[in-house]
Amino acid sequence: MLSHRFAPIRPEATNIEYASFFQTEEGYTVSDVALALAFTWEMYVNDDLGAFTQAAAQLGVTFRATRAFTILDVILRKAGRIPLQNGELGPTTENLDEIAEWMAQRVDPTTGRRVARKPSDLFVGTKWERMARRSMESEYLVPTGGAGGPLAMRDNRNPVYQMANVHLEDMIADVLEEFPERYAGKGLSADDYIVMANGAQKPIELATLKGYEGGPKTFTRMVNVDETDLEGDFDNRGFALKVHDVVGADLRDPYAVAIAAGN
């Protein structure tokens, strides 16, 4: 059975809420969400600041974010988490090298076969963005520390030089705050970040209900008057606008996406 959650109608779209998610037996994360706003003819006439127009635009922003949340939810539920020894330091050169090694050594627990993957994209929060870029931008590492001890040869080439593209995304923190109970047993942190391999091959599958391929749909309640001068409903001069979306996501390649521990 599929459950549905419809956000309540809110005048002027104040305190816009995100839809909750539910899971099918096949493992898909599916969201069926509708959000509406109501306004009166008086509001329309007196809307000198364009609040209604801004509220309608915010509905679109909210639903784009909800589609992204649907994708992120399946990652947080199904992707493996990489237990970095010094994860709290963020995407340092050492941690990124450890991530690459972890993904290269993955094994399918059912078949016992190697399912190695090479990182191609990092999705990091604002806290880690500059560090992630610095860690991979230099071809050679700069030696640090003292010169004590015996002479030793050391390769100073950066093992993660241009290893992956960096994308700024703070959604993990947003999702953990929005749905704390859903991820309570996952051991996730707001400082975690996502590692994707073979991003060009689209390891994440996104599906929509027929008719929603191009994005969420917008519906306007027809008023029960024949005139076309925006007088609103016959009895109370009211209007209503609704946005609706039905979208699902799953991991096409469960070994190509992982969560790096940031704590």
- Residue tagged 């599916």 (tokens): 30
Give the whole-angstrom CA distance, residue 8 versus residue 212. Answer: 22
Instruction: Tell me the Cα Rg of the chain.
Output: 24
Q: Degrees (nearest 5) of the Cα angle 7, 60, 200?
A: 110
**Which residues does 181 contact at the CB level (< 8 Å), separation at least 6?**
none
192 with 95, same domain: the answer is yes
Of 4-8, 96-100, 141-145, the least confident: 4-8
| 45-95 pLDDT, tens digit each | 666 667 777 777 777 778 888 888 888 989 998 999 999 999 999 999 999
22 with 127, same domain: the answer is no
138 with 255, same domain: the answer is yes
**Confidence grade of residue 37 (pLDDT, cut at 50, 70, 90):** low
Contact 238, 39 (CB under 8 A): yes
- 111: CATH: 3.30.2320
Residue 239 reports pLDDT greater than 50: yes
69 with 85, same domain: the answer is no
Q: Degrees (nearest 5) of the Cα angle 29, 183, 87?
A: 115
Half-sphere exposure of 218 (CA within 13 A, CB side): 13
Tell me whether residue 2 is in a domain.
no
32 with 134, same domain: the answer is no
Of 63-77, 97-111, 223-237, the least confident: 223-237
Tell me whether residue 214 is in a domain.
yes
Tell me whether residue 121 is in a domain.
yes
Of 80-89, 139-148, 228-237, the least confident: 228-237
Give the whole-angstrom CA distance, residue 208 versus residue 212. Answer: 6
18 with 72, same domain: the answer is yes
167 with 224, same domain: the answer is no
Residue 224 reports pLDDT greater than 80: no
Cβ neighbours, 10 Å, residue 74: 24
Q: 146 vs 86, which has greater pLDDT?
A: 86
Tell me whether residue 33 is in a domain.
yes
16 with 63, same domain: the answer is yes
Chain-centre distance for alpha carbon 261: 17
The count of domains in the chain is 2
84 with 188, same domain: the answer is yes
57 with 185, same domain: the answer is no
Tell me whether residue 149 is in a domain.
no
167 is in which domain, residue-wise?
80-142+154-203+251-260
Tell me whether residue 4 is in a domain.
no
Q: Degrees (nearest 5) of the Cα angle 14, 16, 20?
A: 155
132 with 255, same domain: the answer is yes
Q: 15 vs 152, which has greater pLDDT?
A: 152
Tell me whether residue 3 is in a domain.
no
234 with 213, same domain: the answer is yes
Tell me whether residue 91 is in a domain.
yes
